[in-house]
Each structure stands twice: as C-alpha cells, then as structure tokens.
Structure 1
Amino acid sequence: MRWVLIAALAFIPCGLADVAAAQTTSSVSRGPSGLPLPRFVSLKAERVNMRVGPGKQYAVAWRYMKSGLPLEVIQEYDNWRRVRDSEGDTGWIHGSLLSGTRTVIATPWRNARDARSVITLYSEPRGGADAVAMLQPGVVGRVEACDGAWCELEVRHGDRTLRGFTAQADLWGAYPDEIIE
C-alpha cells in the first residue's frame, strides 16, 4: 500500500498575545457551564477571533482561519471561554464558536521542515502495522476514539478521507492516558 504525506494549515497572528501560566490536567474542576475544566474543544467556524478579554470590546490577539482546530478550555466567564492553543497562546473566544467535537493536531511541537518529524498513521493500533499516511506537524484530524495509548483518527486529504491509528503521545488535543469513546 502506498502512503500519502499530509501537510498542515496554520493560524494567522494579529499581533497581540495574552500570556498565561500553564494549567495542569490533574486539577480537573467544573466551570459555570457544568463542564469540566480544563477540556478540549474545536473551532466550529472557519474564521474565529481570539480576544485578550471576554467580550467583543477587547482587542483581537489571534485570528484562526481553519475550522476544526483543537483548543483547550481553561476558564469560563458568562458565554466566553478562555482557551489555550497548541502553541500555548491563550485568549477568549465566544462559546458559540466552539464545538464539543474532538480533534487533534499531529505533533505541533516538532519541526515541519525536518523529515524525521512526520508521524505515521497506521492501519491498526500498533507500531508495525501498514502505514496509511505520514502526517506532518500541524495536520488536524477528528478523533474517533482513544484508548490511552493509541487514537483512531479521521484525516481529510483533498477529497479523500483517511482513517487510521497513531500514538496518543504524538498528538495535541487528547490528554495523556485519556480514554475517548
């Protein structure tokens, strides 16, 4: 079987960045919505502004240009959600622009220009299985399931949809050892 190299799309900075201390995943609490904090969500819309504060009157820090990008919700205020992206940048997005659909980014911490940084999407949840595709850092996939070690993903490549498995440790958008059904 021949595999495909899938490249990534990114977000566009607008110039401002809100810096925050990292929050650990071990301290899970409930926000005003009743949903756990922190938690992963994805962008519902194609174009989304992340603001420096919880309201439209606040400046835009980032503009995301791709629906489906995963974000981590770390705080809630009214209808606004403070989120962190895969680069560690934080800001506020209106809750109506977020979806509960789980997505992940392939190894965003690796260098996309380094050929060794690609990760393999396998036909089965094991390292020796046939390769379905090679994913460059930043490729976004929809999570079908994760067992704590492997995640089954659906990745769009042009007009094709590819399905396969990759190590959960090579993804941003699923917590270590998290089970997703």
Structure 2
Amino acid sequence: MLGAPTARHFVIAASLCLATLSSAMAQNMVSVKGSTLNMRSGPGTHNDILWELKKGYPLQVVKRQNKWLQVKDFEGDTGWVAGSLTSSKPHHIVKRPTANVRSGPGTQHRIVGKAVYGEVVRTREKRGKWVRVERSDAPNGWIAKSLLWGW
C-alpha cells in the first residue's frame, strides 16, 4: 500500500507545474518582427488601429484566429496583430520607472546604464533572476528579471 504524499511530493508536483507554465508562456510569446506593427481592435485590416508597436515589442498570445493573433501587452492591453508580422525572437520590456543595467548578473556588479519604463530590450541570456539584454544606442548588460516583462 502506498503512503500519504509527503511535502517533497508536493514540491516536485509544484515544480513540474511551474516548469510547464513557464514553457507554455514562452511558447505563447511573440515580438514585433518589422520596424512597426499595427495592433488592431479585431482580426483583420478592416478593424481600427489601436496602437503602433515598435520592433521587438513583446506580446503574449491570448488566442489565435486564422492568421491573426489576439495579444496582450505588459500593461494588460489587448488587441489583434497579423501573425506573419511577429517573431519568436525573445524580448523584454521594462515595467518599472527605471531599471539599473549592470555589468553582470547581480547587484554586486557595477551599474553601466539605466533603462526606462516601456523600453524594449533584446533578450540574450537568462541566469537565475537576471536577464542579459541588448539595447539599441545604450549600454548592454544585465537587468533584474523582476523589473522586466516578456520571455
């Protein structure tokens, strides 16, 4: 006869659920492929343009309808984009007023720059609670994952 589940069993089950959720979220993320992309009120070019998004802007896919994706951004706004104009290249967006960009993955590393709210950064590597980012016209480096939204 099997015994009752232990705390270890629950930790393992929770870890598997988180890994699955994390993998599912990564698969449900896209970024803007070209220089700009129109987010629309519905699936199709006949719908109103809500926003114009810039290259790399990360979006979470909520629903798929033919060649259109219903997406949500880091502020929770939703709209529709043409799937062909999106990419699977990982990006993040700064979700705090400012974020220190550091020379390495940790607060012990020196600050090499600052990123601001809404700035899109290319994701290059993830290490624990840190993300190595590439920025256009600004120093590259590491930002704490808690200050970012995206992949």
TM-score by length of 2: 0.77
Q: How large is the Cα RMSD of the aligned pairs?
A: 2.3
Q: Greater RCO between the two (CA within 8 Å, min separation 6)? A: 1
Q: Is the 2:34–2:85 contact (alpha carbons within 8 Å) kept by the matching residues of 1?
A: yes
Q: Which residue of 1 aligns with 2:69?
A: 81
Q: What residue identity is the alignment partner of 2:37?
A: V
Identify unmatched segments of 5+ residues in structure 2. 1-17
Identity between Structure 1 and Structure 2 (%): 33
Shift of 1:148: 4.0
Shift of 1:45: 1.9
Q: Which residue of 1 aligns with 2:86?
A: 98
CA deviation map 1:101-142 (0-9, x unaligned): 1111112xx3xxxxxx32111111010211111111111110
Q: 1:126 aligns with which of 94, 97, 106?
A: 106
Aligned-partner Cα distance in 2 for 1:57–1:89: 20
Q: 2:58 aligns with which of 53, 65, 70?
A: 70
Matched residues, number: 132
Runs of 4 or more, structure 1, over 4 Å off, are: 25-28, 35-38
Q: What residue identity is the alignment partner of 1:44?
A: K
TM-score by length of 1: 0.65
Q: What residue identity is the alignment partner of 2:48?
A: A
Shift of 1:146: 1.4
Aligned-partner Cα distance in 1 for 2:93–2:24: 21
Identify unmatched segments of 5+ residues in structure 1. 1-24, 29-34, 111-116, 175-181
